A and B are shown apart, each in its own frame.
Chain A
Amino acid sequence: MASVTYPQTFETPATPTTLKLAKREQAMIGAHIIAALVALMFGIFMGPFQTFHRSPTFVQYFPTIPVFTFYYQAVTAHGVMNALFFTTFFIIGFCYFVVERSLQRPIKSTPMGWAAFASMALGLVFMLFVLLTMPQQSAVLYTFYPPMIAPALFYIGLVLLALGSWLASANIFLTYRDWKREHPNERVPLAVFAILVNFIVWCVATIGVALEIVFMLLPASLGILRVTDPQLARTLFWFFGHPLVYFWLLPAYVSWYTMLPRQAGGKLFSEPLARVAFIMFVVFSVPVGVHHQFSDPGISASSKGIQTLLTLIVSIPSFMTAFNVGAALENAARNRGAKTLFDWPFKQKWNDPVVAAQLSGMLLFIAGGFSGLINASAQLNATIHNTSWVPAHFHQTLGGGVTLTYIGILYWLLPAIRGRALFSKKAALAQVFTWLIGMTLFGLAMGEAGLQGVPRRALTSQAPYLTPAGAFWMDVTAVSGVILLISSILLYVNIIGTLFFSRQPMPAADVPIETVSGDRTSPLWFERWGIWLGILGILLLISYGPVIAEVLDFQEGWNILRFMPTSNAPMP
């Protein structure tokens, strides 16, 4: 299995060295990153054209907008490609890299790694095929609520993606188990600790959507089932849908906690605090999905109240992160000569695209975090539920904090995979700042429009109810779309340039991988995963038990199949 021999000792982090990837590593991780970039390409360029389509002024002057004609096809492709395929491929590739380098051993099984990749890649091909060839039937958006049913290939693509991701998770868990056997009394490096948390959350959360797809949507799409229960399907979807955002976020946190401090020239404030934050994510990130369903008729107000409180708790680890990473950045700036109370944000390496991307991502993420607290408050939610406030929120978090951090990672990982320098550092910096400006403007305009009552996911330029204020903010989002289009083009110019045209060898760079075991002050029982899974199980029973009972409407008897014929809905 281990055709690669890893050196006994890796270079200490303090001495910058050129990272040489083993051939096997290069192929495996490179394949995931390239597949992620292919998915992102189909997703990312849809975004700006959607903003043009929604803007009444833009549509008036440019009645034919290129690239696509059916608006909701683009919304679906944008969501499915960016949120499901790009993230999953990128996260798995990046996590393999961190686990291998951090634990100084290859992942458990290379054939299993390639089988996982093949499954996900086939899923990507199926999904692209169905999205591009069947624009109307496949436009069910990335939340695919029944009774709207897509062609079977849509669901098969998703199933293959999930299967592959489970295999990849198993590979990572087994690699950790082998390492742990050899190092029984050592703390696993923080980065791997966080990655284990991430894949635990992912494996628990995907159970919900897997049940929904395998037992409800796919049989309905194939014509085997004539009925679905939309309320149950929505509940299963959001069981998965909210933890999904932590699956995106935690790899970004891996970078912020274990890489950015060194990239910025400082050190992390507290490692045990970081581990506490990650443990809180295992326990609290799954039982909160109902906060997406505050307006659903089939769930009681008391269940919604419990989930509001749990959602507020899950913001605590993010507050801890703000403190811990903020202190690391302050430390970095003090090392660079910052003296006064407030000059440290300005004394960061804003001219280094790797750092600038992550810092810009954080700025957006702070705004997104606070708008998220508003969403999570059950009563405030009624004013903004399903309005364009919601996409404003998740573009600040996912499109800002997460994606910009991934791009920051990409700016060192892609050269490391290719063995060549980044094509253009200036283009990378221009990309980061146009993204920051564009996304800030987008978030502001969509948020304001949402407060004016503009709905999300609607072709507003054709909507008879659009008010002048709503129209104005939709026009502003089109401006942000232009800026983000420029940023996206710069991103892909740099990616293609780095892959094919960069002639410079990779500079001696500090690839920020932590190989030493954790801080001695963090307790070893933090790694007793059974405890955390047990607590999670109990919390899931408390938070989801009553919800599932309400949704299935158990009062009229406990026959679990009863819901199927009586609460059905016709397939359109």
Chain B
Amino acid sequence: MEINKLERYWLIAVGITLGAFTAATILAVTVFGIRLPAPVERIDPQRLEQTIFANPGVRKIADNRYEAVIVARSWAFDAGPEAGNPAVLRFPRGSQVTFYVTSKDVMHGFQIEKHTLNLELVPGQIARATANFNRPGTYHIICNHYCGAGHQVMYGVIIVE
């Protein structure tokens, strides 16, 4: 089978384009350290009281470092009684927050506005991700995964002071 000259040029151009995308992907992982969600631990969504999700809320673990444990349910993000409903979380500027989130009923989403933090909340799985909050402002936590009739009112607020 003969390959036409134009065909060959085109295939080379395609190879370069895809090579660039691949290189960007590899760079993002190796150099910039961008991480995708990965397995943490499996839990029983009907027995959350036996897990870290028994007491949702924000905990300071070091200077500028926080852990936020959040339970998503139809239709609220539960970050403990202090945070209220819709949950309001406050962090000082420059904080690094590690979120531990799970769902106790159906699938939900966990997306922080103007950040690349975007998690699927699958019942039975702990989703973990870290975000840096360097700019002051108000950011919504949006449930971006359809979870029933009240899906559009499910949200939380992060205030960076």
Residue positions of A touching B, CB distance < 8 A = 70, 72, 75, 136, 139, 141, 145, 147-148, 229-231, 234, 269-270, 272-273, 293-301, 304-305, 308-309, 312-313, 315-316, 319-320, 323, 327, 373, 377-379, 381-383, 385-387, 453, 455-460, 462-465, 467, 521-523, 550, 553, 566-570, 572
Contact = CB atoms under 8 A, between A and B. Distances in A.
Contacts of A72: 146, 148-149, 151
Interface stretch (B14-22, B53-61, B63-71, B90-98): B14-22
Given A382-B36, A566-B44, A312 B124 contact: no
Contact of A148 (B109, B117, B148): B148
Contacts of B62: none
Nearest to A567: B124
A300 B38 contact: yes
Contact of A521 (B2, B106, B123, B152): B2
B130 interface: no
Contacts of B21: 312, 373, 377
A229 B10 CA distance: 45
Interface in B125-161: 125-128, 140, 142-149, 151-153, 155
A280 to B, nearest CB: 12
A516 to B, nearest CB: 19
B146 to A, nearest CB: 5
B81 interface: no
A510 B37 CA distance: 54
Contacts of A231: 122, 124-125
**Candidate in A313, A523, A550, A568 with the most chain B CB atoms within 10 angstroms:** A568
Contacts of A566: 42, 44, 124
A272 B29 contact: no
29 contacts: A72-B146, A147-B105, A269-B4, A273-B7, A295-B36, A296-B122, A297-B38, A297-B126, A298-B122, A298-B125, A301-B29, A319-B14, A378-B28, A383-B116, A385-B118, A387-B111, A455-B143, A455-B144, A457-B151, A459-B152, A462-B153, A464-B153, A521-B1, A522-B1, A553-B39, A567-B44, A569-B103, A572-B105, A572-B106
B34 to A, nearest CB: 5
A312 B155 CA distance: 34
Contacts of B45: 568-570
A458 B151 contact: yes
For the side of the interface on B, what is the size category?
35 or more
B113 interface: yes
A382 B38 CA distance: 13
B97 to A, nearest CB: 16
A455 B29 CA distance: 26
Interface of B: 1-2, 4, 6-7, 10-11, 14, 17-18, 21-22, 24-25, 28-29, 34-40, 42, 44-46, 74, 86, 103, 105-107, 109, 111, 113-114, 116-128, 140, 142-149, 151-153, 155
Top 4 A-B pairs ranked by shortest CB distance? A569-B123, A455-B144, A567-B124, A386-B144
Contacts of A300: 38-39
Contacts of A234: 107, 120, 122
A316 B14 CA distance: 7
Given A230-B122, A572-B148, A297 B128 contact: yes
A373 B18 CA distance: 9
B38 A568 contact: no
Contacts of A379: 24-25, 28-29, 34, 36, 116
A466 to B, nearest CB: 9
Contact of B127 (A293, A297, A313): A297
Contacts of A572: 74, 105-106, 148
A386 B124 contact: no
A100 B86 CA distance: 61
A467 to B, nearest CB: 8
Contacts of B124: 229-231, 566-569
A453 B114 contact: yes
Contact of A316 (B18, B28, B126): B18
